[in-house]
Amino acid sequence: MTSQTQTSQAPNESAAATDNPALNRQMLAILDFGSQYSELIARRIRETEVYSEVLSYRTTAEQLRQLNPKGIILSGGPSSVYDEGAPACDPEIWNLGIPVLGVCYGMQLMVKQLGGQVERAERREYGKAALQIDQPADLLKTVSDASTMWMSHGDSVVNLPDGFEVLAHTQNTPCAAIAHPQKHFYGVQFHPEVVHSTEGSSLIRNFVYDICQCEPTWTTEAFVEEAICEVRARVGDQKVLLALSGGVDSSTLAFLLHQAIGDQLTCMFIDQGFMRKREPERLIEIFDKQFHINVEYIDAGDRFLAKMKGITDPEEKRKIIGNEFIQVFESESARLGPFDYLAQGTLYPDVIESADTNVDPKTGERVAVKIKSHHNVGGLPKDLRFKLIEPLRKLFKDEVRKVGQAVNLPEEIVRRHPFPGPGLAIRILGEVTPERLHILREADYIIRQEVRRSDSYHDFWQAFGVLLPVRSVGVMGDQRTYAYPIVLRLVSSEDGMTADWSRAPYELLESISNRVVNEVEGVNRVVYDITSKPPGTIEWE
Ligand code: XMP
């Protein structure tokens, strides 16, 4: 999905739902056999500007025929094809006449189902391997000989089915890439989707464009146009409510909806009192004053703070804040309404149906999907009186940012660091009191100012302070002090799942420490957290 043009133009008002570009959009289907990389395959394909979806491996050939994908990818997975109950695809898929690429387990399954043989290898291969190309044809035509690919497998293909040939091997894997050129079936034992496979994206591109003959139709502009058409067709002249948090998802959604339906949209911004300094004011300024989007500001700070009295357990804090949020939302939406629709910024990773493919990588057993309720404190009640619209439900986070840019969301929100729903309440360890909240808010403000001043905001995934509920002795002038420490947390990360503590310049650490201790009453010490994730988490609660 590209975003070269930053269009602010809403598509033609007269565009009818039947002009919807989605109807002509080409797609690739990924059948998920439980690999941790299935989503990554989808992202890599979308990076080539072709739409892709992750589907259950149980999707039947008939269902696929209806979806009409230009190609099918069978993902990797933790099982062995010979395990009892190992997941398998509908064998009719081989008669659809659609190109297939099997990745790791997907390739082994292809070989087994088509009459070849897979065996447990003498040595498990894990890590980087040099791909020796035997046939530099279609799938590998742009891949250099001896390029690095990432391997992670126990089983190996030992006999190819009829009509297949070897395209490449590695030192330990004779059949590292295979093809049935007439039928357009391909298999790779390695994982082209991971970053360690240096030319993996190029291989994926060859599959998408040369073998599946796709065209680049998944662009930001096409998505925005399509989403706006869909929203208009669905909503008509009815009213839509959106719970705005100021994060990139709900803000992008607000801008998109505003382009689609203008004043029929109302954004409800509930300030729970745990936002950062000047954040609520800035949000109102941008949405209301600058872009004339209807925002109802609900100041519920006192209410939330009262509920925090005596609460020290992190999960209890989250639960209380979540429940309170729902109550405020319900009463305020009744007051402001009626509304017909509720818009939610649900993203694709939340949607992927993996219930029947989630497999424990250690045991190979299927396990129940764990919903990440932990992060959804802004979650809304199940028995909603509204109809739901979720225009971002096909997008990955990086795609949301591109859509945000395309609908003119200011850069400061598009590229904003993540900020947890419960806000500063989970950055004050122990009980949240007005005094502690004030101290952390001031310290956090200085941290953000200094990070911006040193021009390093985008070097970090997050940059913030944590207040510890202990006091230590210090000295200021001739006075002995006894005050709180602030923990400085600066981390780098790709996606928040893992993170590294940042090797920030001493000058930055020094300026933050000096200013926080000198300017924030109640703090006499700044310490730097040098723990990565894992084993630490990014937040302290
Ligand atoms: P952890 O602390 O689990 O955080 O390493 C990973 C990412 O998630 C954010 N985070 C939250 N976001 N509600 C949210 O909306 C929460 O309760 C929450 N807890 C953590 C965190 O800031 C980081 O980006």
Query: Where along the chain do its domains lie?
Result: 17-211, 220-414, 427-528
Spacing, Cα 13 to ligand 1 middle (Å): 40
The whole-number pLDDT of residue 2 equals: 57
The whole-number pLDDT of residue 244 equals: 96
Q: How far apart are CA 4 and CA 1, in angstroms?
A: 10
Sorted by sequence, the CB contacts under 8 Å of residue 370 that are 6+ apart come out as: none
- CATH class (in words) of the domain with range 427-528: alpha beta
Q: How far apart are CA 315 and CA 373, in angstroms?
A: 11
CATH topology for the 17-211 domain:
Rossmann fold (3.40.50)
Annotated catalytic residue 193: yes
- In 3D space, the residue among 497, 15, 522, 472 whose CA is nearest the CA of residue 229 turns out to be 15
Pocket-testing residue among 274, 375, 427, ligand 1, by greatest number of atoms within 8 A of Cβ: 375
Catalytic-role residue among 49, 193, 226, 541: 193
- In 3D space, the residue among 4, 126, 37 whose CA is nearest the CA of residue 495 turns out to be 37
Residue the block writes with tokens 């129940």: 368
Q: 17-211 with 427-528: one CATH topology? A: no
Question: Measuring from each residue's beta carbon to the nearest atom of ligand 1, which residues come in under 6 Å?
Answer: 318, 374-375, 377, 418, 420-422, 462, 496, 533, 537-539
Annotated catalytic residue 214: no
Q: How far apart are CA 39 and CA 30, in angstroms?
A: 9
Spacing, Cα 362 to ligand 1 middle (Å): 26
- The dihedral over CA atoms of 347, 349, 352, 357, expressed in degrees to the nearest 10, equals -170
- In 3D space, the residue among 80, 203, 212 whose CA is nearest the CA of residue 149 turns out to be 203
The whole-number pLDDT of residue 23 equals: 52
The whole-number pLDDT of residue 124 equals: 76
Among protein residues, the one with the nearest Cα to ligand 1's atom 4 is: 538
CB 298 within 8 A of CB 334: no
Q: What is the pTM of this model?
A: 0.86
Spacing, Cα 541 to ligand 1 middle (Å): 9
Residue the block writes with tokens 């940059």: 463
- In 3D space, the residue among 246, 168, 196, 186 whose CA is nearest the CA of residue 412 turns out to be 246
Sorted by sequence, the CB contacts under 8 Å of residue 499 that are 6+ apart come out as: 461, 491, 492, 493, 532, 533, 538
Question: Per-10-residue mean pLDDT for the chain, 541 residues long?
Answer: 44 37 78 93 96 96 96 95 93 98 97 95 83 94 96 92 97 95 97 95 98 96 96 97 96 98 98 97 96 97 98 96 94 94 91 51 38 43 79 95 98 96 97 98 98 97 98 94 98 92 98 98 98 96 96
The whole-number pLDDT of residue 125 equals: 81
- In 3D space, the residue among 182, 180, 186, 157 whose CA is nearest the CA of residue 170 turns out to be 157
Q: How far apart are CA 208 and CA 445, in angstroms?
A: 47
The whole-number pLDDT of residue 495 equals: 85
Pocket-testing residue among 426, 539, 540, 541, ligand 1, by greatest number of atoms within 8 A of Cβ: 539
Per-residue tokens: 494: 């790709």
Q: 3-state SS of the chain: helix, strand, coil percent to 5?
A: 35, 25, 40
Sign of the Cα pseudo-torsion (246, 249, 250, 255, in order): positive
Spacing, Cα 268 to ligand 1 middle (Å): 22
The whole-number pLDDT of residue 361 equals: 41
Per-residue tokens: 353: 């149906």
- Measured from the Cα of 497, ligand 1's closest atom is 6
Reported residue count of the chain is 541
Annotated catalytic residue 267: no
Sorted by sequence, the CB contacts under 8 Å of residue 448 that are 6+ apart come out as: 276, 463, 464
Element containing residue 448 per DSSP (H, E):
helix 434-453
Residue 116, burial from CB neighbour count under 10 angstroms (0-12, 13-18, 19+): buried
CATH topology for the 220-414 domain:
Rossmann fold (3.40.50)
Catalytic-role residue among 191, 225, 258, 442: 191
Cα–Cα distances in angstroms (integers) from residue 173 to residues 105, 118, 158, 191, 243, in the given order: 14, 12, 9, 14, 53
DSSP code of residue 428: B
* Cα angle: 165, vertex 168, 172; to 5 degrees: 115
- Measured from the Cα of 462, ligand 1's closest atom is 24
* Cα angle: 15, vertex 16, 17; to 5 degrees: 125
For 167-313, where are the alpha helices, taking DSSP H only? Answer: 200-205, 220-235, 248-261, 279-284, 301-307
